[in-house]
Amino acid sequence: MLAETICSAASAAGLGIAAVTAYRKRFLTATRIAAYSLVPVGLVLTGVVEWVAGIAFKPSVWLGFGVLGLSWLLFMTTRAVERRSGTTRAERKAARAAGRNEAVAPAASAPSLGAGGTAGPAAAAKPQAQPKPKKKQEAAAAGDDFSDIEAILKKHGI
């Protein structure tokens, strides 16, 4: 009963302020104040105020809010730990499986890309001996690399 009286008084005061604001020819602001001041009366008429008053004084309701808060806290803690590690459980499992299945041969110049390669474990066990290139071949290979770069630069007008 007290809550309904307080809500009615707040609405009456709000409507009075809206009337004064409209008298000062600020109609848009007055309309907005009137809209806000009618909300408490609407809540009383729909029964929301009575429902909230009934909830506020029951210990079981507060226990329920506590349980909901605890579950939210646990959920957010697990999310924060997951973000801090940078990976999800599925990503860690996939990385572990990929680490077991792929290996780089000791003599390989670059690691293989992707999971499906033609070279199996037998090929990785036998490293192929490559003859050492001579100095002139190294210089020619370096020149070829620079010629590609020069061609790209010329293409862009640099």
Lowest mean pLDDT among 10-24, 34-48, 72-86: 72-86
Token pair of 101 as six digits:
């299945």
Average pLDDT of the segment spanning 119-125? 51
Angle formed by the axes of helices 48-56 and 27-46, nearest 10°? 60
Per-residue pLDDT, 4: 86
Q: Give yes or no for residue 44 having a pLDDT over 70.
A: yes
Tokens 């001579």, located at residue: 134
Determine the straight-line distance between the first and last CA of the chain, rounded to whole angstroms. Answer: 84
Per-residue pLDDT, 142: 56
Confidence of residue 94 (pLDDT cuts 50, 70, 90): confident
